[in-house]
Chain A
């Protein structure tokens, strides 16, 4: 099955957006909100989980950009095809 490259990029963008956003929220929800003994290990772990969540969030933001690029490519290719 042959997929138009624009649609391929668009789907990749959608995938990045959804997976990035879902995983970002998933990691965020795993962060413990109570640190009863004020443990620095838990505080560090929280921070790193937050960093991972932020990076996954950035992936989902890139996913939006990739979706826009995919759409542009899709319409450009279609225009080229029509001209040919």
Chain B
């Protein structure tokens, strides 16, 4: 017993503990963790995952770790990493990986038929015997779905397999996941909204047709350590252009009841002809602000609804960035069968609110994307007063429209398109005929019935 104790004491003296350091990273498909000093080396760990999206054709994911010198981006030789992977606070796998080159490549093959995860080294004639290529195959029920995958990475050796290191990294990879939701709107009928969640998996999607509000939830850890790591939380909503109630100039978006600032909600009408894409992008500042205001929910509850306000003027760069178009219309809600006045200015893209000299323009209103409804060619005013165009919308059309500016100053590349919606007029009876008839009937009965009863 005494000998064992002496041996233990000698072992403690010979192998003193090393300083334990940790660094954090989080939430993107690719990132380089902040550099940290290990000995006299400035070391970073870069993480990448591919493919970027997990969809129905997904067959596997590749994860790449490189422990590199921050000064010259060269990987360290003979690196050993102890990697543990987690999702939704559940451990997926843990294994020690070795690479002679310092470059690690994990080929993850999702296999839901088995509950076991097998990890095998690949490369060379005798993988793992005549050197370590750093290439591993991981097979099992992992990476079959998108979401936030967290890794605890301990660097055990670096530079040589005999060079002991103890450096831990907390990293995470977000694998975006696309989900389609079919909703039923009172006015626009069945619509399919697609949400691409770039941070973690979302769920509990609901649509309230009366309130015109979409809501969904995403797990989120609001503790300070996690808030330090999060760089961005991004949700992308693809809203069909036929969903006219949601094709508006401004949205009200909330997270856990906290209203998001206008700059956190961006509208993309360019990328798709069929969809309007709404991005909810929360950077570190917005997430920190919400953290202060929100309660203690372990999630982010998103809501999105069309705003009653209009975000006029709508400003947009032309395709060739030569001009900036500033557009507004009155009344703010375009109604079929009524005249709407469009006011616009063509601005200098580099100066604030500076209109350009008089230039030629083509102004068009297109039903949907193809059916020309209105066209006007002209020249803009030479002073700062807005140009106005009155458009009488046909009574038989309601739905999405595209307001197009083309051939600005004769340049076919100087064009811009802005989406809008023509709504059906709400028919409210000016004289409540129904209630008058009911009232007359009740009074008549009140007079006639007693008289009949007397007889």
Q: Tell me whether B166 and A28 are in contact (CB under 8 A).
A: no
Q: Tell me whether A40 and B20 are in contact (CB under 8 A).
A: yes
Contact of B152 among A24, A33, A43, A47 (CB under 8 A): A33
Q: Tell me whether A31 and B130 are in contact (CB under 8 A).
A: no
Contact of B166 among A25, A34, A40, A48 (CB under 8 A): A40
Q: Tell me whether A33 and B82 are in contact (CB under 8 A).
A: yes
Interface residue? B180 (CB, 8 A): no
Which of B156-164, B205-213, B305-313, B399-407 faces chain A? Answer: B156-164
Chain A residues with CB under 8 A of B20: 38, 40, 43
Interface residue? A35 (CB, 8 A): yes
Find the B residue at minimum CB distance from A51.
B162
Interface residue? B431 (CB, 8 A): no
Q: Tell me whether B17 and A21 are in contact (CB under 8 A).
A: no
Interface residue? B350 (CB, 8 A): no
Known: A34-B152, A54-B161, A57-B129. A43 touches B84 (CB 8 A): no
Find the B residue at minimum CB distance from A40.
B17
Interface residue? B154 (CB, 8 A): yes
Find the B residue at minimum CB distance from A54.
B161
Interface positions of A from 39 to 84, Cβ below 8 Å from B: 40-41, 43-44, 46-48, 50-51, 54, 57, 60-61, 64
Interface positions of B from 288 to 325, Cβ below 8 Å from A: none
Interface residue? B80 (CB, 8 A): yes
Interface residue? B95 (CB, 8 A): yes
Q: Tell me whether A35 and B17 are in contact (CB under 8 A).
A: no
- A49 to B: closest C-beta gap in Å: 9
Known: A38-B168, A50-B96, A51-B162. A44 touches B15 (CB 8 A): yes
Q: Tell me whether B18 and A50 are in contact (CB under 8 A).
A: no
Known: A33-B82, A33-B96. A57 touches B15 (CB 8 A): no
Contact of B157 among A21, A40, A50 (CB under 8 A): A50
Question: Which one of B17, B18, B96, B164 has the greatest number of beta carbons of chain A within 10 Å?
Answer: B96
Give the distance in Å from the alpha carbon of A27 to the alpha carbon of B95 in the complex.
11
Chain A residues with CB under 8 A of B126: 21, 64
Q: Tell me whether B96 and A44 are in contact (CB under 8 A).
A: no
- A53 to B: closest C-beta gap in Å: 8
Q: Tell me whether A33 and B154 are in contact (CB under 8 A).
A: yes
Interface residue? B51 (CB, 8 A): no
Name A's interface SS. Answer: helix
Q: Tell me whether B164 and A47 are in contact (CB under 8 A).
A: yes
Interface residue? B385 (CB, 8 A): no
Q: Tell me whether A21 and B128 are in contact (CB under 8 A).
A: yes
Known: A28-B96, A38-B20. A46 touches B128 (CB 8 A): no
Q: Tell me whether A35 and B154 are in contact (CB under 8 A).
A: yes
Q: Tell me whether B166 and A43 are in contact (CB under 8 A).
A: yes
Interface residue? B22 (CB, 8 A): yes
Contact of B128 among A25, A43, A47 (CB under 8 A): A25
Question: Which one of B17, B18, B129 has the greatest number of beta carbons of chain A within 10 Å?
Answer: B129
Give the distance in Å from the alpha carbon of A43 to the alpha carbon of B156 in the complex.
8
Q: Tell me whether B129 and A60 are in contact (CB under 8 A).
A: yes
Find the B residue at minimum CB distance from A61.
B129
Interface positions of A from 1 to 55, Cβ below 8 Å from B: 17, 21, 24-25, 28-29, 31-35, 38, 40-41, 43-44, 46-48, 50-51, 54
Give the distance in Å from the alpha carbon of A51 to the alpha carbon of B83 in the complex.
18
Q: Tell me whether B82 and A31 are in contact (CB under 8 A).
A: yes
Q: Tell me whether B156 and A35 are in contact (CB under 8 A).
A: no
Contact of B156 among A38, A50, A60, A64 (CB under 8 A): A50
Give the distance in Å from the alpha carbon of A57 to the alpha carbon of B96 in the complex.
14
- B117 to A: closest C-beta gap in Å: 12
- B124 to A: closest C-beta gap in Å: 12
Q: Tell me whether A46 and B161 are in contact (CB under 8 A).
A: no
Interface residue? B349 (CB, 8 A): no
Question: Which one of A17, A41, A57 has the greatest number of beta carbons of chain B within 10 Å?
Answer: A57
19 pairs, CB–CB < 8 Å, chain A vs chain B: A17-B129, A21-B128, A29-B95, A32-B94, A33-B82, A33-B94, A34-B152, A35-B168, A38-B20, A40-B18, A40-B166, A43-B17, A43-B154, A46-B154, A47-B15, A50-B156, A50-B161, A61-B130, A64-B129
A-binding residues in B (CB < 8 A): 15, 17-18, 20, 22, 80, 82-84, 94-96, 126, 128-130, 152, 154, 156-157, 161-162, 164, 166, 168
Known: A38-B20, A47-B15, A47-B156. 15 other contacts (CB 8 A): A17-B129, A21-B129, A25-B128, A31-B156, A32-B94, A40-B17, A40-B20, A40-B166, A41-B17, A43-B17, A47-B164, A50-B96, A50-B161, A57-B129, A61-B129
B-binding residues in A (CB < 8 A): 17, 21, 24-25, 28-29, 31-35, 38, 40-41, 43-44, 46-48, 50-51, 54, 57, 60-61, 64
